[in-house]
A and B are shown apart, each in its own frame.
Chain A
Amino acid sequence: MNSLISLLQAAIYFGTVIMFGSLGEILTEKSGNLNLGVPGIMYLGAISSLTGAFFYERAAENPNPVVCVLIAFICAFLASALGGLIYSFLTITLRANQNVTGLALTIFGSGVGNFFGGSLNKLAGGVGQISVSATSAAFRANIPALANLGTVGDVLFSYGFLVYFAIAAAIVMQWFLKRTRVGLNLRAVGENPATADAAGINVTLYKYLSTCIGSGIVGLGGLYYVMDYTKGTWANDGTIEGLGWLAVALVIFTTWKPANAIWGAYLFGVLYWMNYYIPGLTRYSQELFKMLPYLITIIVLVITSLRKKKEDQPPANLGLAYFREER
């Protein structure tokens, strides 16, 4: 029983990181932009929130938890949105190849992250490991009355607010895409920009906004990773990059529907951590289990491709630049 609870908890920690990543990427892809810079953007979100929190904690004698959260949150969102802006400028305005630009952004983001991560560790001095304990504690704070409800509390209420924020974001995004005019227009841009353009929709604006906001949300995955998952520390171990690619896989798994990202992300988490809770596995067979999320994504791809249901396909114009005069 205990090991099941801790598996579920691990899955939810893990799932929240990639849920942010895939929600942001869904929003981006709905505009027809295939941003493969997700891992890089997560790095940007992670390192900027850490940097912001680090300097605030160093400057303030008694860091205020609310200010800590705000600074980290805003830093993560803005830096990531800026990454999205770079991508947007290159692919939308200059019509650069989306795949190449996205991959470059991943390399750029991980470079920036690891460079400044190392610098922060050095600045922090001491044992060579920084820790923004006050900010991390604020992010991990839960409501004790609920968290102490035994098993229910452990499984449902023992997390920091970003876990619930991610779920709320998924639901809001689902509603936004399905039920609002702006969401409808955005989907049209990703499906058929020429039609959207003829209908009087500002295709460029929609692409820019959804890519930048989407990137901002992706960056929250990085924020959650450093503040909650690793409890306010930095390690140059490339975990974020692995999580970033899983988030991209999750986008396919959800068939571009934000609501599916909720259970999909937790399922990926369970699959990823399962190997720790199955007795008798060697180090080698553990690695096989870590493949499962990717394997499932491939199976989903095969099934949706076979079923050919139009609603489960990626946005029709995904990966293509739009240029009005090109006919």
Chain B
Amino acid sequence: MMILTNPQTENADARRTAGSVSAIEMRGVTKTFGEVIANNNVNLDIRYGEVLSLLGENGSGKTTLMNMLSGIYFPDAGEILVGGKPVTIRSPKDAFELGIGMIHQHFKLVDVFTAAENIVLGLKEEGRYDKKEVARRVREICAKYGFDIDPDQKVYTMTVSQKQTLEIVKVLYRGAEILILDEPTAVLTLQETEKLFSVIRNMRADGKAVVIITHKLNEVLAVSDRVSILRHGEYIDTVNTKDATEESLTEMMVGKKVELNIARDDIPDKKKRLSVEHLSVTSPEGVKILDDISFEAYSGEILGIAGISGCGQKELLESIAGLQKTEDGASVVYSDPEDEQDKQLIGTNPKQIRKLGIHLSFVPEDRLGMGLVGSMGMTDNMMLKNYSDGKSLFLDRKQPKELAERILKELEVVTPGINTPVRRLSGGNVQKVLVGREIAAAPTVLMTAYAVRGLDINTSYTIYNLLNEQKKSGVAVIYVGEDLDVLLELCDRIMVLCGGKITGIVDGRTARKEEVGALMVKKV
């Protein structure tokens, strides 16, 4: 077994005494991606016989930090000590050899393989590949920790929870002593979560070190011994769970309010543009992604949508844009300013929505995936929205070209030329092209998702100004964001989603950050 070659096995007995022996120490670890600092000078202490929660909002750098332990990323600066000795982890293989196993959010399993085949994948064990022997050892591990898994079951027939169990068994089979679980409960039902927690407790009792990455406070309190908090890539603090409360943790997680000085005008004479009622969406796996959502959006207003990512934001915008299949009984009514009639959007497709004279512009989360064609230049990307206009057999390139040049000038897009493939532009410039095009379509409702993700400060402000101008000209803006400080300064109202439900709609002018933070993790 691999663990036999593991240098720290010597103090295996000491480890069983639980909670005091350090498994991993991270000292001053820093990781940057281009200009974005994902982790800045982070210190972390993981101990055997203990469950450590790594708590933080989305984008706070939790997963990045753990990926440096699992060999996916390599730190720019800082030190990692395993069992007191400094180590270099350059690949997932190095991590295995140090006894570190990470269960990623996106499972790393081969669908057409059986459980047992997935478990032995890539292992350099002595001797022949003996299916029966593998199955026997898998059952042994299952019995020890209370897993329920059939070694001969194919992965594609498994439920999400079974796949996760398989991932855990896989790292245990490889002799992992330190387990890192990345948001393990995100995909589980309540009962499955309970089962997972009992397994985690069994592992703790067995002297393993367990880290769970999470943003759910109730889980932190339920399963962990200590909590380390990250915010915007900075290490905040580590506290004992028994001394912590939901309130104290929320405060550390979202932090104090930061003044950003984003302009916010009050537009009089708001008119109802969109009213959404009883909107529910179920994923193909049968999980409720949106649960009975009802709200209204007004002209001359920026409606912010806050929430931990994956709480249904994407599906909500896609439902309104006609890209998402909704459950029966949903209603999205659009009040057309031109003929002052109410029009039902459910049951129409994106093209019909446009033909009806309804201007919905949608800046998707995945800029290059859904918004733009990476290999085409700015001009061609402008044409994507209106190539079917006009009666001529040939395309009219003149207008798109003018539009592209206008966006280039007004939004200060940095590009070698309007025909340079947009893929080669930096993230901020791609975003400007996309937002510019959507705004040029003169929308009455403008929906944006994570419009400033990955952008530098100046570009972010350019985008905020653009949105504000739209608001002034009477557009109903829906802004899905992840930075609470921005949401609180930019938006007139903030709707908070948690687990596909609305946990509250607050006034952006008066709401406090802690209030929104609490709504983001509120159980319903």
Contacts and interface: CB of A to CB of B under 8 A. Distances in A.
Interface in B152-184: 154, 156
Nearest to A311: B112
A181 B123 contact: yes
A193 to B, nearest CB: 10
20 contacts: A180-B129, A181-B120, A184-B129, A185-B121, A185-B122, A187-B110, A188-B110, A188-B122, A192-B110, A194-B108, A198-B92, A199-B92, A199-B108, A199-B122, A200-B91, A200-B96, A201-B122, A310-B112, A310-B156, A316-B112
Given A201-B121, A310-B156, A179 B129 contact: yes
A195 B120 CA distance: 12
B111 interface: yes
Interface of B: 72, 91-93, 96, 104, 108-113, 117, 120-125, 129, 154, 156
Contacts of A200: 91-93, 96, 122
A197 interface: yes
Given A198-B72, A310-B156, 4 more contacts: A195-B108, A198-B92, A200-B122, A313-B112
B121 A195 contact: yes
Interface string A293-315: 00000000000000000110100
A219 to B, nearest CB: 29
A179 B128 CA distance: 9
B469 to A, nearest CB: 34
Contact of A192 (B93, B104, B111, B117): B111
B120 A184 contact: yes
Leading 7 A-B pairs by shortest Cβ distance: A199-B122, A200-B93, A195-B108, A201-B122, A200-B122, A181-B129, A199-B121
A147 interface: no
Contacts of A179: 129
Interface in A186-239: 187-188, 191-192, 194-201
A188 B129 contact: no
Contacts, number: 61
Contacts of B129: 179-181, 184
A230 B443 CA distance: 71
A195 B123 contact: no
A316 B111 contact: yes
Interface residues of A, number: 21
Contacts of B92: 197-200
Given A179-B129, A181-B129, A196 B113 contact: no
Contacts of B72: 198
A285 to B, nearest CB: 42
Interface of A is mostly: helix
Contacts of B124: 181
Contacts of A185: 121-122
Contact of B111 (A181, A191, A196, A198): A191
A310 B124 CA distance: 27
A208 B104 CA distance: 28
For A184, A196, A198, A311, the residue with the greatest tally of chain B CB atoms inside 10 Å of its CB is: A198
Contacts of B120: 181, 184
A180 B128 CA distance: 8
A95 B111 CA distance: 25
A200 B89 CA distance: 13
A198 B93 CA distance: 8
B135 to A, nearest CB: 14
Interface string A79-98: 00000000000000000000
Contacts of A197: 92
Given A181-B129, A200-B93, A188 B121 contact: yes
A310 B91 CA distance: 31
Contacts of A316: 111-112
Contact of A195 (B93, B110, B154): B110
For B93, B110, B113, B129, the residue with the greatest tally of chain A CB atoms inside 10 Å of its CB is: B110
Contacts of A188: 110, 113, 121-122
A227 to B, nearest CB: 37
A310 B154 contact: yes
Contacts of A199: 92, 108, 121-123
Nearest to A201: B122
Given A179-B129, A185-B122, A198 B112 contact: no
Given A179-B129, A181-B120, A192 B108 contact: yes
A195 B167 CA distance: 11
A195 to B, nearest CB: 4
A195 B123 CA distance: 13
Contacts of B113: 184, 187-188, 191
